[in-house]
Amino acid sequence: MKIDVTINGRERSFDVPPNTLLLNLLRERLDLTGSKYGCGIGECGACTLLLDGEPVLGCMTLAVDCDGRTVETIEGLGDGDGLHPIQEAYLEEGAVQCGFCTPGFIMTTKALLEEEPNPSEAEIREYLKGNVCRCTGYVNIVAAVQSAAGKMR
């Protein structure tokens, strides 16, 4: 099936079988391997990306369902040279260890800060509930979100 999707600002056309998942299209056809495959069934958030600006799970989204829509992944955040303030904040606060969960966390954080530029710790923890990190213990991640919020205000 033919689909047109805007990915990180670039309009693209594909011909995909309906059983293709958005995450596989990104990782296998476009080599956009920032979004990660963790569980594949909605429980870890490592595949989180923004679809029409909202955080969804690439591992459970059919590519054909994205026809005419806009996808944003971690690769779309920086400008090529500099990092996005959220990426900077995650590095500065030690919120990245192995880094496997980081792209998912950062995309969810971006959506959160667009909705609520000044979230409380409780709001941050609630919004990031669908993202799992096996390394950091979340304290540094919460600090990174708060620091990013400061940078972006």
Partner 1 sequence: MNPINKHNTHIVMPFEYHQPATVRAAVEILRKHPGAKPLAGGTDLVPKMKQRLLEPKHVVNLKKIPELSVVEDRGDAVYIGAAVRLREIEKSETIRRRLPLLSSCVRSIGSVQIRNMGTLGGNVCNASPAADGALGLVALEATVHIAGPGGERQVEAKSFFEGPGLTVLGEDELVTGFTVPVPTEDTGTCFISVGRTALDISTISIAVALTMDGDRVKDAKVVLGSVAPTPIRLADAEKQLKGKTLTEKLVEDTAMKVSESIKPITDIRGTAEYRREASRGMAVEAITKAWREGRTQR
Ligand X SMILES: Cc1cc2nc3c(=O)[nH]c(=O)nc-3n(C[C@H](O)[C@H](O)[C@H](O)COP(=O)(O)OP(=O)(O)OC[C@H]3O[C@@H](n4cnc5c(N)ncnc54)[C@H](O)[C@@H]3O)c2cc1C
Pick from 1, 83, 98, 139: which binds partner 1 (CB under 8 A)? 1
Report how far apart, in Å, the C-alpha atoms of 13 and of each of 2, 6, 8, 100, 130 are: 7, 9, 13, 29, 30
Number of residues that bind ligand X (CB under 6 A): 2
CB of 131 to ligand X, least distance (A): 11
Tokens 């679809």 correspond to 51
Burial 16-53 (b: 16+ CB within 10 A, else e): beeebbbbebbbeeeebebbbbbeeeeebbbbbbbbee
Find the part of the chain contacting partner 1 (CB under 8 A) among 58-66, 71-79, 86-94, 140-148: 58-66
User: β-strand 2-7 against 70-72: which pairing, if any?
Assistant: parallel
Sheet holding 48-51, edge to edge: 10-15, 2-7, 70-72, 48-51, 54-57
CB of 136 to ligand FES, least distance (A): 5
Number of residues that bind ligand FES (CB under 6 A): 22
Residue 94 touching ligand X (CB under 6 A): no
Q: Which residues bind ligand FES (CB under 6 A)?
A: 37-40, 42-47, 57, 59, 96-101, 133-136
Q: Which residues bind partner 1 (CB under 8 A)?
A: 1, 17-19, 21, 24, 37, 39-43, 45, 48, 51, 54-57, 59-62, 64-65, 108, 111-112, 127, 129-131
Q: Which residues bind ligand X (CB under 6 A)?
A: 42-43
